[in-house]
Amino acid sequence: MEQLELRINFTADLFEQQSKENGFTYWFASKLMEMLGYKSMTSFSKAINKAMTTCNTLNIPIIENFEQIKVIIDGKYGIDFRLSRFACYLVAMNADNKNPEVARAQAYFAALAGAVNNYMSEVNKVERLVVREEISERESSLSGVAKKAGIENYAFFQSAGYRGMYNMHIAKLREMRHIPIKKSPLDFMGKDELAANLFRITQTELKIKNENIQGQSKLEVAAENVGKEVRETMIRISGIAPENLQKEEDLQEVKKELKTKNKTIKLIDNKKK
pLDDT tens, per residue, the chain with 273 residues: 333 344 456 888 889 999 999 888 999 999 999 999 998 888 999 999 999 999 999 999 999 999 999 887 666 788 899 999 999 999 999 999 888 999 999 988 888 776 545 677 888 999 999 999 999 999 999 999 999 999 999 999 999 999 999 999 999 999 999 999 889 999 999 999 999 999 999 999 999 999 999 999 999 999 999 999 999 999 999 999 999 999 999 999 999 999 998 988 888 877 665
Distance CA(71)–CA(95), nearest Å, equals 23
The whole domain housing 16 covers 12-112
Contact 250, 183 (CB under 8 A): yes
Q: Which of 57, 87, 112 is the last residue of a domain?
A: 112
Per-residue exposure over 55-74, b if at least 16 CB sit within 10 Å of its own CB, e if not: bebbebeeeebbbeeeeeee
- Are 54 and 86 in a shared domain? yes
Structural domain contains residue 259:
no
**In terms of pTM, does the model score above 0.75?**
yes
- Are 108 and 130 in a shared domain? no
Structural domain contains residue 272:
no
Q: Which of 61, 91, 112 is the last residue of a domain?
A: 112
